[in-house]
Amino acid sequence: MSWESTTLYYRLINEATRERRGGFHSAPIAMVSVDFAEIEALQRSGDWHAAGAQLADDARAIERAGADVLLICTNTMHKVAGAIAEAIDIPLLHLADATAERIRADGLDRVALLGTRFTMAEMFYRGRLEAQGLTVDVPNSGDMDLVHEVIFDELCQGVINPDSRADYRRIIDALAADGTQGVIAGCTEIGMLVSPEDCPVPLYDTTMIHAQAAVDWALSD
């Protein structure tokens, strides 16, 4: 939802398209870049119905623009994925499904989930992963608050804080020590702060996974 991660999606999709097709090829993309302040206020107030209605309108606009498939470029707003999918006739490429598929392909069955408090604490996302055979760990309540606050107070505003990176590393290390086999960067901004080098177990960057899945879908037979 923040333009910080939107730029990552746009770059990754176009890079993957050029890699696959060569030459001057790039990805034809119909995109609605929202005013994130409006969405964040609805999240904070708990008005998910209004948020879903707004994004459903945006999805219809994307479909009218000629898109063949839709991506919701945020983990948290998959909380309203059902309302969005019902509003359109094109398929919705669900981020949690793409992530679970990648994890299962790597032979893992227990992963930790980092993201906003909504994503970590509620079941709209975790439940989707668990339905595909994964055991999902989350940080303790205090660390959950820290992860959430860094996303909203720093990453969504383009702030990269070395102290926050150290905090995330500490949280990841604790989860790995407790037996998790991999870590899902379950917010599309987290990849701005931590990389595989920060993680003692495989790190699954959902932004990269979703972008690659979109290109795979678009260029498949």
- Tens digit of pLDDT at every position of the chain (221 positions): 889 889 999 999 999 999 999 999 999 999 999 999 999 999 999 999 999 999 999 999 999 999 999 999 999 999 999 999 999 999 999 999 999 999 999 999 999 999 999 999 999 999 999 999 999 999 999 999 999 999 999 999 999 999 999 999 999 999 999 999 999 999 989 999 999 999 999 999 999 999 999 999 999 97
Q: Under CATH, which number does the domain 3-94+209-219 receive?
A: 3.40.50.1860
95-205: CATH topology is Rossmann fold (3.40.50)
In the chain, residues under CATH classification 3.40.50.1860 are: 3-94+209-219, 95-205
What Å distances lie between residue 99 and 2, 37, 136, CA to CA? Answer: 20, 27, 13
Residue 206 CA neighbour count, 13 Å, CB half:
32
Catalytic residues: 74, 187
Closest-CA residue to 37 (of 29, 49, 45): 45
pTM assigned to the model: 0.93
Is residue 107 left, alpha or beta, with left meaning phi > 0 and alpha meaning psi from -120 to 50?
A: left
